[in-house]
Amino acid sequence: MPMILKGFNDLSAFLETPKNVVIVGHRNPDGDAIGASLALKHYLTKKGHHATVVMPNDYPDFLQWLPGSENTFRFDWQNSQSQKAIQKSEIIFLLDFNTLHRVGSDMQNTLEKYQNDFVMIDHHQQPDDVKFMYSDVNVCSTSQMIYQYIEMNNDLSLIDKDIATCLYTGIMTDTGSFRFRSTTSKTHRIIADLIDKGAQNDRIHNNVYDSNSYNRLLLLGQALSNLQILPEYKTAFITLTDEEKKRFDFQKGDTEGVVNYALSLKGIIFAAIFIEDKEQSIVKISFRSKGTFSVNKFSRNHYNGGGHDNAAGGRSESTMQETVDNFCSLLKDYKTELEVSYEI
Ligand code: 5GP
Ligand code: MN
């Protein structure tokens, strides 16, 4: 899919005078959504605008240290402040998601009534059509796209330590620390520039990856002991029940990255994690793959989800056991695709 850049000359003209801006990421924001949003906020502030980040809900502790995070609203529990910021705004940036339902139904209702224009900057497939768009599925992260947006505006000299730190974090988390196929030489050049501009790579890695609680490691231990391998389909999957989450005092973000352990097995090219969420009565699923097997398509077809070719998410409204049984029975239809997906 080619890059889409729509209306950005008009957008530049619109942003020539100071504006009230709101920046929104997807529900359960990850490092890329938060990093891109905070970086854009710092940049727009430097350009004379008043920018507010409104996230649909809270995010993990290991992202709360990011500069500017303390002034971010969570739409679900800071609803009146969030609504007020949205009402006052003259334009809304939608970052790191491709369709409005990704913000969750409450916030989606509010955004659907919004009278002014949206700008979407995102790297997911099949984006909705909004007035101002910069979409590129070939870029590893929305954070890299924010760097490129700043570059388009000839403003790279405005990138300071805070912006560099936020962008570095977003690129690092969405590329699995610069190891996925989406990581290009350009990504590395941008990362080098961000280090030159003040991003402290060792501190950022430490803050994000070496800040585990003891319970989080115990939960990981439980997840690994639940791992099941289906060698005939080069597939491995992990389950976590609500009871197991409670036993290890589950906190937001504790399961992030766990699915990658299934993918780290030799010979495995398709991995899934099924996480029971009794509060929402769903099983939340993450999929990862190597090579040509598209988990985006798989999740769209069977789990009401989507994402990227090699990393996607979805959900099931059945019980854990039914969900897992259904998943295993689906694999038969994908045996050939899975066999040829990735030469090891
Ligand atoms: P994760 O598995 O880490 O939650 O998400 C992997 C990728 O899939 C991310 O890019 C995320 O935005 C996307 N994703 C996760 N869950 C969903 C979902 O329910 N629907 C869609 N469309 N995308 C999802
Ligand atoms: Mn992203």
123 ligand 1 Cβ < 6 A: no
Residue of 299, 302, 316 best suited for mutating to test ligand 1, as the one with most atoms within 8 Å of CB: 299
The DSSP result for 87-137, as a single string, is HH-SEEEEES-SSGGGG-HHHHHHHHT--SEEEEEE-SSS----SEEEE-T
Q: Compute the Cα dihedral for 224, 226, 230, 233 and give only its sign.
A: negative
Q: What is the pLDDT of residue 282?
A: 97
* Cα–Cα distance, 341 to 344 (Å, whole number): 10
Position 2 scores a pLDDT of 87
The minimum-distance atom of ligand 1 relative to the CA of 256 is 3
Ligand closest to Cα of 95 equals 2
From atom 4 of ligand 1, which residue's Cα is the shortest distance away?
A: 313
Contact 149, 123 (CB under 8 A): no
Residue 207, CB-side half-sphere exposure with 13 Å CA sphere: 21
Q: Which two tokens stand for residue 161?
A: 């330590």
Domain range annotation of the chain: 4-209, 214-340
pTM of the shown model: 0.95
Three-state SS sequence of 138-174? CCCCHHHHHHHHHHHCCCHHHCCHHHHHHHHHHHHHH
CA distances from 105 to 26, 127, 128 (A): 12, 18, 16
Amino acid at 223: A
CA 16 to ligand 1 centroid distance, Å: 34
Which residue type does 41 have?
Answer: K
pLDDT mean by block of 10 residues, the chain; 344 residues: 94 98 98 99 98 98 98 98 98 98 97 98 96 97 98 98 99 96 97 98 98 98 98 98 98 96 98 96 97 97 95 97 98 97 84
CB half-sphere exposure, 307, CA atoms < 13 A: 21
User: If DSSP codes are grouped into helix, strand and coil, which group holds residue 272?
Assistant: strand
> Contact at 8 Å (CB) between 273 and 285?
yes
CA distance 143 to 214: 30
CA atoms within 13 Å, Cβ hemisphere of 286: 16
Identity (one letter) of the amino acid at 118? F
- Residue whose C-alpha is closest to residue 93's, from 42, 40, 137, 158: 40
> What order of strands is seen across the sheet that includes strand 91-95?
4-6, 132-135, 117-122, 91-95, 20-24, 50-55, 73-74
**Which is the closest atom of ligand 1 to the Cα of 97?**
12
Check pocket membership of 314 for ligand 1, CB cut-off 6 A. yes
CA of 122 to the centre of ligand 1 (A): 13
Q: Which two tokens stand for residue 328?
A: 């295993």
Hey, what's the torsion of the CAs at 79, 84, 86, 89, to 10 degrees? -160
Tell me the CATH number for domain 4-209.
3.90.1640.10
Q: How far apart are CA 26 and CA 307, in angstroms?
A: 12
* pLDDT (0 to 100) of residue 149: 98
CA of 5 to the centre of ligand 1 (A): 23
Is the beta carbon of 67 within 6 A of some atom in ligand 1? no
Cβ–ligand 1 contact at 312 (below 6 Å):
yes
CATH number corresponding to 214-340 = 3.10.310.30
Per-state percent for the chain, helix, strand, coil, to nearest 5: 45, 20, 35
Residue with tokens 């190597």: 290
The full length of the chain comes to 344
